[in-house]
Chain A
Amino acid sequence: MAHADLISPAAVTLTDPQPLNIAGREFHSRLMVGTGKYASNSVMIDAIEASGAEVVTVAVRRVDLDRSKEEGVLHHLDPERYFLLANTAGCYNSSDAIRYARLARAAGFNEWVKLEVIGDQQTLLPDTEGLLTATKTLVDEGFKVLAYTNDDLVTALKLEDAGAVAVMPLASPIGSGLGMLNPYAIRTIKQRLSVPVIVDAGVGTASDACIVMEQGVDGILMNTGIAAAQDPVRMAAAMRMAVESGRHAFLAGRMPKREVAVPSSPVTGMLG
């Protein structure tokens, strides 16, 4: 009964005592989603809807001048409804990433950027040196930088010092679906940083998302985990529930792990 205020009669709906807040802006969903790799735009729209995400990432690319039809993602996605977070995906040095960020800002939606500076084509792991350089420059220019990085604590601390409004360590390489390879590293980053920690990349299925959120991080950004599912719309809904589930499991505080069994039923009152 003590929790009656948290539970609605129709369905179990838990409130989050502290909604996600990045750079003073509050978000009601801790799940952010990408818009790449979908088989069709209608599936993408339905999946985003099912995910409950407010923050939606987009990439900056040349307009294909040889195509007559409009192929920009905003032709399908309502920028009034979602908070657009442009990325600098595909940039392999800080100056390219800065250029892409400036182009994205000039689109006129916001000054936020999901900053990626990639250092290796095989793994798409970040070039943390270039990332720090670009972060500093963009922060100076008034950008709200959400920095995609690896799961290294020291880099995460440096990004925070450089003024990133959120740090986005990977669970595992982009598009790999391997889940969280180093829970200890993710937990440590979350414990040591003051800015929000949004795990970005590597989440392959709902249990991955749940386990990531159980580490206490502030949110997850994913794309391929939804877009490459057999049924992206259903997976998007599953991810939504998994993120909420993991968040509440974290808030609830899990039982301690024990190496021995402890009976759940009374050990007294057994028949003689």
Chain B
Amino acid sequence: MTESLSFVTEAPSDAVSITVNGADRRIPSGWTLADLLSSLGLDARTVVIERNGTILRDRAGFASIELGRDDTIEIVHFVGGG
């Protein structure tokens, strides 16, 4: 019984665990970077993305980058500073 309960509280088995800005997130399997940004309400033109330490310069290509297990994504932008 305990096992089945823990099963239903977990995300669906086709979910993928990734890290976004330092926090764990589970996203549906097959999501692209564009899907992630869209779900976060972010406009690709206003942010810079780093995936596993590599900056992704081609914003148009975000829709074809499928996120995989253990991907580490950093989403940054400009804030006030001196």
- Tell me, in angstroms, the Cα distance from A44 to B81 when the chains sit together: 11
Q: Which chain A residues (58-79) contact chain B, with CB distance < 8 Å?
A: 58-63, 65, 68, 70-75
Q: How large is the interface on B (under 10, 10 to 19, 20 to 34, 35 or more residues)?
A: 20 to 34
CB-contact partner of A59 in B22, B41, B75, B78, under 8 A: B78
Q: Are B75 and A65 interface neighbours, CB within 8 A?
A: yes
Interface of A toward B, CB cutoff 8 Å: 34-38, 44, 57-63, 65, 68, 70-75, 84, 86-87, 89, 102-104, 106-107, 174-175, 201, 221-224, 227
- Tell me, in angstroms, the Cα distance from A72 to B40 when the chains sit together: 15
Q: Are A73 and B20 interface neighbours, CB within 8 A?
A: no
- Pick the interface stretch among B8-16, B27-35, B42-50, B61-69: B42-50
A41 and chain B: residue at smallest CB distance:
B80
CB-contact partner of B55 in A34, A102, A224, under 8 A: A102
Q: List 22 A-B contacts (CB under 8 A).
A: A35-B80, A36-B81, A44-B80, A59-B82, A60-B79, A61-B78, A61-B79, A65-B21, A65-B40, A72-B46, A73-B79, A73-B80, A74-B46, A74-B77, A74-B78, A75-B46, A102-B55, A103-B50, A103-B74, A103-B76, A107-B48, A107-B78
Q: Are B77 and A61 interface neighbours, CB within 8 A?
A: yes
Q: Are A59 and B23 interface neighbours, CB within 8 A?
A: no
**A36 touching B82 in the complex, CB below 8 Å, given contacts A63-B47, A65-B40:** yes
Q: Are A59 and B81 interface neighbours, CB within 8 A?
A: yes
Closest chain-B Cβ to A95's Cβ sits at a distance in Å of 11
Q: Give the interface centre of B50, B74, B81 by most chain A CB atoms within 10 Å.
A: B81
Q: Interface of chain B, helix or strand or loop or mixed?
A: strand
- Tell me, in angstroms, the Cα distance from A222 to B77 when the chains sit together: 21
Q: Give the interface centre of B41, B76, B80 by most chain A CB atoms within 10 Å.
A: B80
CB-contact partner of B82 in A71, A75, A89, A106, under 8 A: A89
Could you say which residues of chain B place their CB within 8 Å of the CB of A224?
A: 82
Q: Are A38 and B21 interface neighbours, CB within 8 A?
A: no
- Report the tally of A-B residue pairs with Cβ distances under 8 A: 95
- Tell me, in angstroms, the Cα distance from A204 to B14 when the chains sit together: 57
**A223 touching B82 in the complex, CB below 8 Å, given contacts A68-B41, A103-B50, A106-B57:** yes
- Tell me, in angstroms, the Cα distance from A34 to B23 when the chains sit together: 30
Closest chain-B Cβ to A32's Cβ sits at a distance in Å of 10
Q: Are B80 and A65 interface neighbours, CB within 8 A?
A: no
Closest chain-B Cβ to A67's Cβ sits at a distance in Å of 10
Could you say which residues of chain A place their CB within 8 Å of the CB of B47?
A: 63, 72
- Tell me, in angstroms, the Cα distance from A48 to B30 when the chains sit together: 45
Closest chain-A Cβ to B41's Cβ sits at a distance in Å of 7
Q: Are A89 and B78 interface neighbours, CB within 8 A?
A: no
4 further A-B contacts with Cβ under 8 Å, apart from A36-B82, A104-B78, are A65-B75, A102-B55, A106-B48, A107-B48
